[in-house]
Amino acid sequence: MTAALSSARRLFSTEHSWMAVDPFGSPAQTPSRVGVTPAALGGAADILGVDLPTVRTVLTAGEACGTIRTSAGSVTVFAPASGMVTIVNPVVLENPSIVASDPLGTGWLFAVLIPAASSFEDLSTHEPTDAARMGS
C-alpha cells in the first residue's frame, strides 16, 4: 500500500465500496481513490476482468458505476460519492487480480474529484457488515 493511500481517511458505503480522502487536502482539489471491500468480492480469488468508468465520467453517489468479473459471477461497483473520474488505476486494468489480493490498497479502482459542497454523511469510517449489505 502506498504511503499516500495509507495516510488517507477511508470512508465506506453500505454497498461495500470505499473512498480514501486525503487528510491534508480538499476533496474538491485532491482526487479521492475508490475501491471495493473484501466483503464485496465475496471471497472470489479469481478476478477475470474489470469494467470501470472512463476518465471524465460524472458519477452519482450510490449508483452503479462499474463491474468486477470473477470466476463466481459479477460484482457491481457503486460510487461512494458523487464526482468526476480523474484516473482509472492502470495496474488494475493490466492485472485485475490485484483487486482480490489487495482490495484496500493497490487494488483501488479509480479516483474521483468531488464537488466542494459534497456531504459524506452517508459514509462510515467502518466497513459495513454483511447484514448491512443485505439491508438487515
What pLDDT is recorded for position 132?
Answer: 41
Residue 129 resides in a domain: no
Residue 23 resides in a domain: yes
Residue 133 resides in a domain: no
CA atoms within 13 A on the CB side of 136: 4
Domain count across the chain? 1
What pLDDT is recorded for position 134?
Answer: 36
8 A C-beta contact, residue 108 and residue 93: no
Inform me whether the pLDDT recorded for 124 exceeds 80.
no
How far is residue 19's CA from residue 120's CA, in Å, rounded to a whole number? 10
Mean pLDDT of 83-87: 96
In this structure, of 22-26, 46-50, 57-61, 106-110, the range with the lowest mean pLDDT score is 22-26
Cell 482539489 identifies what position?
A: 29
Inform me whether the pLDDT recorded for 75 exceeds 80.
yes
What pLDDT is recorded for position 98?
Answer: 95
Residue 128 resides in a domain: no
Residue 63 resides in a domain: yes
What pLDDT is recorded for position 118?
Answer: 60
Residue 38 resides in a domain: yes
Q: How confident is the model at residue 106 (pLDDT cuts 50, 70, 90)?
A: very high
Query: In terms of residue numbers, what domain contains 90?
Result: 3-122
8 A C-beta contact, residue 70 and residue 47: yes
How far is residue 20's CA from residue 84's CA, in Å, rounded to a whole number? 15
8 A C-beta contact, residue 18 and residue 35: yes
Residue 131 resides in a domain: no
Inform me whether the pLDDT recorded for 5 exceeds 80.
no
Residue 127 resides in a domain: no
Q: How confident is the model at residue 12 (pLDDT cuts 50, 70, 90)?
A: confident
The CATH number of the domain where 28 resides is what? 2.40.50.100
